[in-house]
Amino acid sequence: MGSILTLASAKGGAGKTTTTIVVAANLVAKGYRVCVVDSDRNQSFVSWHDNAYEGAPITTVSEVDHIRVVDIAGEQAESHDIVLVDTAGFENLTAASAIGMADFVLIPCMPDRGSVRETLRTAQQVASLSKAARRAIPYSVLLTRWKAKGLAERAALDSLTDASLPIIGQSLSDLSEYAKLSFSGAVPVTGKVGEQASSIIAELASKGAIPTKGTMSHSEDNGVAA
Ligand SMILES: Nc1ncnc2c1ncn2[C@@H]1O[C@H](COP(=O)(O)OP(=O)(O)O)[C@@H](O)[C@H]1O
Ligand SMILES: [Mg+2]
């Protein structure tokens, strides 16, 4: 069984789809079998994939129904190493289902007050769904559009650490390359973007959120270097 990684934040424009694009394309480039389930009615990921994407194959499935999304993601996990579930940027049942079934939840957060507020709320939602499911659903915050020395970044980080939220060590920098991705189909797997994606993937693997070479049954012949 592959892992299910859900990208969630009640905030629209927090970086969920950008993170999904960068992580999915870099996982595929490393030899992982990757499926993305787009559960956002806007279908940002699917339309980018179908109209622009130029890299190695990523299976894409569109499913916005909150009941069917659970079956679809579960089925895809049987034939992929990792299933990424991109969700909509408002509180909705489909995102709750995708959080409820996830092996790991990634909550992207940009350096502004609204984004931090919605990150805290989404973290509370994950905790609440953990209680409802009577199992721990692990999660981390991913800082996106982040400037290393920005004032807003410092204030945002203070709020997140005050609330003791787990944060991925590698952030997605504020780079025009990320902003360009919604138009461009070539996702960098080298340079700054590739390095940041690789660090995030390595950290997720160290947390058990995605499989590493040793835990993948077909790993000998697909060149995965995790
Ligand atoms: N690291 C980044 N650097 C620059 N722009 C970014 C970055 N991450 C996201 N963006 C831009 O921010 C906007 C919202 O990102 P998106 O991934 O669509 O958020 P969501 O899926 O959460 O609604 C998009 O225009 C995207 O290009
Ligand atoms: Mg989106």
- Residue 144 CB less than 6 A away from ligand 1: yes
Q: Which atom, in ligand 1's list, is nearest to the CA of 19? A: 17
What's the 154 CA to ligand 2 centre distance in angstroms? 25
Q: pLDDT tens, 11-32? A: 999 999 999 999 999 999 999 9
Question: Which residues lie closer than 8 Å to 56 by C-beta, 6 or more apart?
Answer: 25, 28, 29
What's the 130 CA to ligand 1 centre distance in angstroms? 28
- Mutate-to-test residue for ligand 1 from 18, 22, 196, highest number of ligand atoms within 8 A of CB: 18
- Residue 67 CB less than 6 A away from ligand 1: no
- What value does the mean pLDDT take over residues 98-110? 98
pLDDT at 217: 55
pLDDT at 71: 98
Q: pLDDT tens, 186-226? A: 999 999 999 999 999 999 999 999 998 666 656 444 445 44
What's the 221 CA to ligand 2 centre distance in angstroms? 34
User: 């953990």: which residue's tokens?
Assistant: 130
Name the closest-CA residue to atom 26, ligand 1.
Answer: 179
Name the closest-CA residue to atom 23, ligand 1.
Answer: 13
- What value does the mean pLDDT take over residues 47-68? 97
pLDDT at 212: 87
Residue 145 φ/ψ region, left for φ over 0, alpha for ψ in the -120 to 50 degree band, beta for the rest? left
- Residue 182 CB less than 6 A away from ligand 1: yes
Q: pLDDT tens, 28-38? A: 999 999 999 99
Average pLDDT value over all residues in the chain: 94
pLDDT at 48: 97
pLDDT at 220: 45
Q: pLDDT tens, 117-165? A: 999 999 999 999 999 999 999 999 999 999 989 999 999 999 999 999 9
Domains and CATH numbers, the chain: 3-211 (3.40.50.300)
* Total-model pTM: 0.95
- Residue 13 CB less than 6 A away from ligand 1: yes
Q: pLDDT tens, 156-185? A: 999 999 999 999 999 999 999 999 998 899
Name the closest-CA residue to atom 25, ligand 1.
Answer: 179
